[in-house]
Amino acid sequence: MALTDHPAAALIARALEATGATAATVFVAVVALFVLPTIIQWYRLSHVPGPKLAAISKYWQVRESIKGTLPQVLKELNDKHGPLVRIGPNDLVTSDPDVLRKMMAVRSPYTRGPWYEAWRLNPTRDNLFSMRDEVGHTALRNKMVAGYSGKENLSMESTIETEIARLIDLIERKYISTPKDYRPMDFGEKAQYFTLDVISDLAFGEPLGYLEKDEDVYDYIKITTASIPAMLTLGSIPTLANIIQSRFLRWLLPKETDKIGFGAFIGVTNHAVAARFAPNAAPQQDMLGSFIRHGLNLEEAQGEAVLQIVAGSDTSASTIRAFMLNICTHPPVYQKLQQEIDEAVAQGIISSPIKDAEARQLPYLQAVIREAIRILPPAGGAFFKQVPPGGDVICGKFIPGGTQIGSSPLAIHHSKNTFGEDAETFRPERWLEADEDQLEKMKATADLVFHYGKWQCPGKTVALMEFNKIFVELLRRYEWSVINPFNAARVNNAGVWMFDDFWVRVTRRGQ
């Protein structure tokens, strides 16, 4: 469509015609209205390299998000252009971990960018993740940090153990293969069943029942698999996200009265949380109990319970899948890890089930966990932060205030400068071979998957405890192998890594 064919241009033309203006005047008005803002927006960041189309349109970013290839493409751009790349008219990404730490520091003047507005799970209010107001975010976080840390949730470890036992029971009932009985299991699916039951049990005192029923309860996984890519795309177009969440279109979004899907899931969660606020409800020493004791009201608690499950289940499941996929396709790593576990069992230095503190003393297990998180950072979104009004110098370039700067997760965690020339390779030994200075540099960078400072992920303690416990229990009991070594799983990214058709064969050890 030519500029003069635009409906707004036609309206201007009619208005100017009524006043006797010439066609030239109309053209000048259209240029002023549509072209000049684009040129000005392009110019303010024209000193930062990147795709030409990305400099003038959101289309490039939206296209890569829809394709599920944005993290890989961002890494390619950083490899080509350096640590700061332009990916939108007002959007940059960096592969420099020092820049991320600077932006996320406790006293940093940076704020969350409009990208976060797409992640309101309840369109009427913000949650801990979507909230951009600094004062409100700090106040809400302070009410929740004790519950997430486990300091007031003494049953956290035993709750995770209970869900591991349910996963093992499911495997024993339905998915043990023998020479005469072949029972393949989609590990990607079961990993998310496990993390959904863990986080729901921790969040409001009872699991949603995925492991017990061995099915996608309320079609939650089906719905979120479709909706998370849409939310990531809307993050690139915050204005559109706000329109969809407006009161005029809110009726199109999931509601707690729905019978299936995300709305039904919200309804179940809200009901479970509301029971804790009943007049005769007894205080409980779990995560939700801690939130309530520290001042969360009913509406806040319901919103945060939903966020806990969405954020906590998908990211943890991603790492559990990445861990198992990589050890199954790297036999020397698998054998070395299993040997460490067997020796620890023989020496009596780990319990059954293993305790979190015991797992932290198994050096190769810790190396494999770190490497699994590094090789496939669980959250692949850019998590844009907004440059303060006065602007800032980033990677030697002045960046004007209001610009969004996000992270390039694969570029950061596959950096040869940080992790060595074989940074693209899954090799846990790097964590045992590095000297003290290099190891600290690697750890500090790898820990950025949990973010940093005022925006550090509050669920870090829960996630690491899950990882420290589940792998030992699965490897001490069973042998694992992928069904199709040429196509072990279909993996793509939609903010988190999606694993489809991750089929494995499970046998009892010694069988």
Minimal CA–CA distance to 491: which of 342, 407, 376, 359?
376
Residue 80 CB contacts under 8 Å (≥ 6 apart), including other chains: none
* Residues 404, 90 contacting (CB under 8 angstroms): yes
Quote the CA–CA distance of 329 and 388 in Å, as a whole number.
46
Q: Which residues of 12-50 are buried (b: 16+ CB within 10 A; e: fewer)?
A: bbeebeeeeeeeeebeebbeeeeeeeeeeeeeebeebeb
Quote the CA–CA distance of 101 and 477 in Å, as a whole number.
41
Quote the CA–CA distance of 244 and 251 in Å, as a whole number.
9
In the annotated binding site, the residues are: 457
Quote the CA–CA distance of 463 and 478 in Å, as a whole number.
23
* Residue 448: both structure tokens together: 């950025």
Residue 156 DSSP SS3 = helix
* 12-to-6, 20, 26, 266 alpha-carbon distances in Å: 10, 12, 7, 47
Q: Which residues of 393-411 are buried (b: 16+ CB within 10 A; e: fewer)?
A: ebbeeebeeebbbbbbbbb
In the annotated binding site for heme, the residues are: 457
Beta-ladder partners of 388: none
Phi, psi (degrees; rounded to nearest 5) at 21: -75, 155
Cis ω before 353 (30° cut-off from 0): yes
Q: Which residues of 417-441 are buried (b: 16+ CB within 10 A; e: fewer)?
A: ebbbeebeebbbebbeebeeeeeeb
Quote the CA–CA distance of 156 and 151 in Å, as a whole number.
9
Beta strands in 134-269 (DSSP E): 185-186
Beta-ladder partners of 397: 394
